[in-house]
Structure 1
Amino acid sequence: MADYIWKKDSSGKVDERVMRFLAGQDVLLDRELLPFDIRASRAHARGLARIGVLEEGQAEAMAAALDELQGAFAAGEFVLDERFEDGHSAIESWLTERLGEVGGRIHAGRSRNDQVAVAIRLYLRDRLEQLKRESCAIAGVALERAASEAMLPLPGHTHLQQAMPSSLGLWWAGHAEAFIDNAELAARIAEWIDASPLGTASGFGVNLPLDRDGVAAELGFARLVVNPQYAQNSRGKVELRAIDALSAATGDLRRLAWDLSLYASEEFGFLQIGSAYCTGSSIMPNKHNPDTVELLRSLHSTIVGARAELDSVLSLPSGYQRDLQDTKPPMIRAFERGLAGLALVPGLLESVTWNETRMREAIAPALHATDRANELVGQGRPFREAYRQAAAEIEDLAGRTPEASLQARVSPGGNANLLLERLRERLQALKAD
């Protein structure tokens, strides 16, 4: 491993077993954060030049070297590995090797504490934007199918029991609105996270007139994390809120995947999932297993587990504690796995085909009882009396059709009045933002 950047001199023996334990997975996890750490370092160097700590030429030389590092890392020519304690030390080592003494000046006015804090906020802002895009894409497919299949009958269920005639339009629109909400939640949490902690150093400020506002603006942040202590205390808190946004999406995905699983079963037989999203059995030649749907259904457990792991780390006093290093593994695991799963969903939904005959045949006469009760209410009967009369007339409902039931459901948002244009307007506004 390269020399430790915190080591004061050559005296004192370093126990490599201890150092391996302290480093943990950090150097591997920092591969996800390194592009953001490089970006923040570039802005920091320019900020130091603006207050005279660096000469303009030195800052530009640093920026050029950091650009070179970013390109080498993206091309696989530079690998963040066990030679380095973490991504921060790799950046300083790269600059020192190329610029000599000038490279060692990059750390003026900052600590690894605010260095990782700003990289994490940049990372989360990027991942929340991805979450917003994936949620919008899922909502977009669902809305398109809601419009094209608006009045195709589908048995509605509560308690896993048949309830009332419903439609594919209502089913698709329900899932669309859920993911519109998820996209909006991701955007709002990204806005809340959009503050720069860079320049707060180890949590106490520094005796330099840092241009924190200018550096924050260069990094695209809307504002500063003003208080140095809070810059440290917010570690973990911002990760939790970001995972909450991801959890909202995977929680809705779990419900959607459950619907698809049930409807694809032989017992329901309402739909078939595209073969690209299914596998067969190693022993049963007849099997067509919806494996992608099942793993998307379990995806939420990964996110919830990561959140619980992260939250358990945060029983800490004010200020930086090394425990906070352990917030990185669950955060990165949650977003890499969660976003990979969500990215599959639009194509999966496009692949679904429906068995319209099976769905229509599954709507038994008893499902029209609520319609009959509401008709009696429209004739002036008290609802409870109408309810009892409709229950007594179930055998007389056999001549009713699902189409007539759906056409009569005119309440705003109901089957005959889905208000898809309102959902489209919300979705378009999110995409344009």
Structure 2
Amino acid sequence: MAKLWDKGKNTDAMVLEFTTGNDYAVDMNLVPADILGNIAHVRMLHKIGMFNDQELDTIEQGLIDILEDYKQGKFEITPDMEDVHTAVENALTERIGELGQRIHLGRSRNDQSIVDMRLYVRDMLLQVTVAALDCADTILHFARRWWDTPMPGYTHTRPAMPSSMGLWAGAIGEQILDDLMLTGAAYAMMDQCPLGSAAGYGVNIKIDREFTSGQLGFARVQNNTLAVQNSRGKFELAVIQSCQHLMIDLSRAAADIIFFSQPELGFITIPDHLTTGSSIMPHKKNPDVLELVRAKAADMNGLATSVASMLTGLVSGYSRDLQLTKEPVIKALDITLASLQIMKRMFEGLEVNDKKCVEAFTPDLFAADAANEGAIQKNIPFRKAYKIVSENLDKMQMGNPKLIFKSRTHQGAPGNLKVEDAHKRLDLHRLAITHRIKTGDEVIKRLLTKTSQGGQDKPAE
């Protein structure tokens, strides 16, 4: 199998094996993106006169056929091929002859690899965003349903102040929406076309980078060709970090559910179908799903650290270190997508025990309330009122948990959660993401329709 960099000299087999690593397997994720990038590139070469109409038609058909083979499980990348770029170009050459070897003109595997990752990551970030919106929607509905169920609030895992099931769940839903600001920023970074940067220093051909960018539906061309290369890995790190924030919030939610559902508290019950069992203890109903979400959040921290460490100290331009930044971001996106989907399922099944939530209240949960009330009623400094309460904790009177919804009515408190405002934010996010997905689908449809059949025609606005 010919390598794209083959100069006719023998390379040590151990060197080839070591430098390839598992890149060939990782790159199976990138086959559709590589084919789309190839189609856009050859259309640009056709536009500047490097291919005639018949040649373009032959190349486009060959690439479309390879994609169809991939979808049917008939296309594979083997270790001797090294990567997706070699595999696709060689497969194309086998189909259409020497013409297939001409598609690399004005391009390097460097910018080809970057565009593959950006196309792949853009699509995956849209999927993650949809999953995050679905998860947040479910959690916010849970908050609205149980908004008036009082429960103890905890600090340091110890009872602290009156809270509510709605406040707890609403917090998780809003945190996920906040996380999507970072996801959006990561998407914007990835939504820049790198093609034409070649190995970081441009090419001596009058290529049309704006045309290629438009074909692939990017928001803009990433201008400076060296900046394109230097952004490799760094943009991937931003994506991992956006996933990291989502996973931190899912991990906390998972830990909370484990804590609240333990038999000693029993505020929440995890239904049997969302638990697993023990090989020795017949009675066990284990929250394995939640424990694995916690573990996967920790794994995410490792992925971010790994990529950041790879980038530190690199000189400008491409270094082979950057090959290893692909797999962590692919794994991060897979982890986040699966975790959002399973946590949505978890919140759909959770059962709340109102009685146990109320029974868990003790007089000292109202100590801070008593200090506030004492300071106001006696017109004394809060610090004095605090001391009076602290010296009389054994005399504290039990408050009515249900009254917290009348005493805590400022914005965001248990009695005024404004869940409807969070839902409005969610709906705006969903409207934007729906439009972005529709636009992306149209781009792919045009790329997979041959130019001779109107593939480069843009739909009417």
Q: Same fold (TM over 0.5)?
A: yes
Asked if 1 retains the 8 angstrom alpha-carbon contact of 2:35 and 2:67, the reply is yes
Provide the residue aligned with 1:312 in structure 2: 309
Provide the residue aligned with 2:212 in structure 1: 215
TM-score in terms of structure 2 length: 0.90
In the TM superposition, residue 82 of structure 1 has moved relative to its aligned partner by 2.8
2:10 equivalent to 1:3: no
Map residues 142-161 of structure 1 onto 2, 5 A cutoff: 142-161=139-158
Asked if 2 retains the 8 angstrom alpha-carbon contact of 1:182 and 1:249, the reply is yes
Provide the residue aligned with 2:188 in structure 1: 191
CA deviations over 1:27-77 (Å, ceiling 9, x no partner): 100011121111111100101111001112212221221111111101102
Q: Which amino acid aligns with 1:359?
A: C
Mapped partners of 1:154, 1:62: distance in 2: 65
Asked if 2 retains the 8 angstrom alpha-carbon contact of 1:131 and 1:183, the reply is no
- When the two chains are superposed, the root-mean-square deviation of aligned CA atoms in Å is 1.5
SS at match of 1:107: coil
Mapped partners of 1:235, 1:229: distance in 2: 10
Mapped partners of 1:269, 1:280: distance in 2: 19
Provide the residue aligned with 1:226 in structure 2: 223
Asked if 2 retains the 8 angstrom alpha-carbon contact of 1:296 and 1:341, the reply is yes
Map residues 18-417 of structure 1 onto 2, 5 A cutoff: 18-314=15-311, 315-379=313-377, 380-417=379-416
Mapped partners of 2:321, 2:177: distance in 1: 36
2:441 equivalent to 1:431: no
Mapped partners of 1:264, 1:66: distance in 2: 54
Q: What is the aligned-residue identity percentage?
A: 38
Mapped partners of 2:272, 2:38: distance in 1: 47
Asked if 2 retains the 8 angstrom alpha-carbon contact of 1:368 and 1:405, the reply is no
Q: Which amino acid aligns with 1:150?
A: W
Q: Which amino acid aligns with 2:318?
A: Y
Mapped partners of 1:160, 1:196: distance in 2: 48
In the TM superposition, residue 308 of structure 1 has moved relative to its aligned partner by 1.4
In the TM superposition, residue 217 of structure 1 has moved relative to its aligned partner by 1.1
Q: Which amino acid aligns with 1:3?
A: A
Mapped partners of 1:90, 1:249: distance in 2: 35
Mapped partners of 2:318, 2:305: distance in 1: 20
Provide the residue aligned with 2:436 in structure 1: none
SS at match of 1:279: coil
Asked if 2 retains the 8 angstrom alpha-carbon contact of 1:132 and 1:182, the reply is no
1:6 and 1:376, CA in 2 relative to 1: closer, same or farther beyond 3 A?
same
In the TM superposition, residue 393 of structure 1 has moved relative to its aligned partner by 5.0
In the TM superposition, residue 184 of structure 1 has moved relative to its aligned partner by 2.5
In the TM superposition, residue 398 of structure 1 has moved relative to its aligned partner by 3.3
In the TM superposition, residue 189 of structure 1 has moved relative to its aligned partner by 1.6
Asked if 1 retains the 8 angstrom alpha-carbon contact of 2:362 and 2:398, the reply is no
Instruction: Return 5+ residue gaps in structure 2 as ranges.
Output: 433-461
Asked if 2 retains the 8 angstrom alpha-carbon contact of 1:135 and 1:182, the reply is no
In the TM superposition, residue 131 of structure 1 has moved relative to its aligned partner by 2.0
Mapped partners of 2:31, 2:376: distance in 1: 65
SS at match of 1:54: coil
Mapped partners of 2:392, 2:56: distance in 1: 84
Mapped partners of 1:191, 1:328: distance in 2: 18
Q: Which amino acid aligns with 1:141?
A: T
In the TM superposition, residue 103 of structure 1 has moved relative to its aligned partner by 1.1
Q: Which amino acid aligns with 1:423?
A: A
TM-score in terms of structure 1 length: 0.96
1:406 and 1:387, CA in 2 relative to 1: closer, same or farther beyond 3 A?
farther
CA deviations over 1:326-346 (Å, ceiling 9, x no partner): 112222222222322222110
Q: Which amino acid aligns with 1:173?
A: G
Mapped partners of 1:377, 1:425: distance in 2: 38
In the TM superposition, residue 238 of structure 1 has moved relative to its aligned partner by 0.5
Q: Which amino acid aligns with 1:253?
A: L
Mapped partners of 2:234, 2:298: distance in 1: 20
Asked if 2 retains the 8 angstrom alpha-carbon contact of 1:146 and 1:169, the reply is yes
Q: Which amino acid aligns with 1:209?
A: K
SS at match of 2:81: coil
2:19 equivalent to 1:13: no
288-297 or 60-69, larger mean C-alpha shift: 60-69
Q: Which amino acid aligns with 2:343?
A: V
Give the paired residue count: 430
